[in-house]
Structure 1
Amino acid sequence: MNRLSLAFFTTGALCVMTGMIWGMIMGSHGDFTLAPAHAHLNLVGWASLALMGTFYALSGKGGRLGWLNYGLSTAGVLVMIPALVVLLSGGKSAEPAVIAGSVLAALGMATFLFVVLSSWRDAKPA
C-alpha cells in the first residue's frame, strides 16, 4: 500500500475510533446534543477518508493532487468538528470556523472528484 493510501486510512481509523468512543460516552450519559458533530466525524472523517484511501490504493494514483486532497480533507475534519461541537454547545462565535471547515472538506472532495474524473483517460477497457 502506498503512503498516501496509508495516510488516508490512518486518519480515517483515528476518526472512527474517536467517533465510537464519543458515541459510547454520549450513550452512557443519555445526552445526544452533540450527535450531529459525532455523525459528521464518522461520515467525513471515517467514511470519506477511507473511501478516498481505497481509491488511491486501487488506482495507484496520488502525487501532489492526492496529497492536496489528503491535506484539505483532513484539515476540513480538524477544523469543522471541534467548531461544530462549540456551536452545538451554544457558542455562536464558532459558526465561521464551521463554515471554514466545511469549505475545506468540500475543496478536498472537489480535488478528489477531479482526480477520479481525470483517471478515466488512463482506464483500461473491461
Structure 2
Amino acid sequence: MTRISDYFLRIAVLAGLLGMGMGMMMGMRQDFSLAPAHAHLNLLGWVSMAIYALFYRAVPIAADGLMPRLHFFTAVVALAVMIPGIALINLGYDIGELLAAVGGAAMLVGFALFGVIVLKATAPGRA
C-alpha cells in the first residue's frame, strides 16, 4: 500500500500553517499586497492537497501505480513555483510572471492527472 495520502496530507498541513502565518503577518502589518499569494497558498496548498489526501485514503486502489506519484510530484512542484511567482508579481518583479505561468501550467497538468486517476478508480465495475 502506498503512503501517497500521508504525503499529500503532510504537504496540506504545511501549506495551511504557512498560509495562516502569512495571513497573520499581513494582518499585523496591515499590508495585504500579498493577499493573492496567500489565497492561492491556502486554496491550492491546504485545501486541494487535503482533498487529494482524503480521496487517496478513501479510495486506496487509486493510490496504486506510477500516476499518483506523478500527480504528487507535479502538484508539489507546481505549488512551490506558483506561489512565489504570484508573490513576486505583487512585489513588482517581472520574473514572477514566468514562475506563476509555469507553476499554473504544472498545477493544471497535476489536476488533469488527478482527474484521470479519479475516472479510472471510480469507473463502473471497478471494485
What TM-score, normalized to structure 1? 0.93
* Equivalent position SS for 2:92: coil
- AA aligned to 2:97 is E
Q: State the partner residue of 1:17.
A: 17
How many residues are matched? Answer: 124
- Find the residue that maps to 2:122 and give its secondary structure: helix
Residue 31 of structure 2 corresponds to: 31
- CA RMSD in angstroms comes to 1.3
Distance in 2, matches of 1:43 and 1:123, equals: 31
Q: What is the one-letter code of the residue matched to 1:88?
A: N
Does residue 96 in structure 1 map to residue 98 in structure 2?
yes
Q: Which 5+ residue runs of structure 1 have no aligned equivalent?
A: none
Q: Offset at 1:2?
A: 4.5
Q: Deviations over 1:52-86 (max 9, x none)?
A: 11110110021211111111011110000011111
Cα drift, residue 93 of structure 1: 2.5
SS in 2 for 1:72: helix
Deviation at 1:120, TM superposition (A): 2.5
Distance in 1 of aligned mates of 2:104 and 2:77: 10
Q: After TM superposition, what 4+ stretches of structure 1 lie above 3 angstroms from structure 2?
A: none
Identical-pair percentage: 35
Gaps of 5+ in 2: none
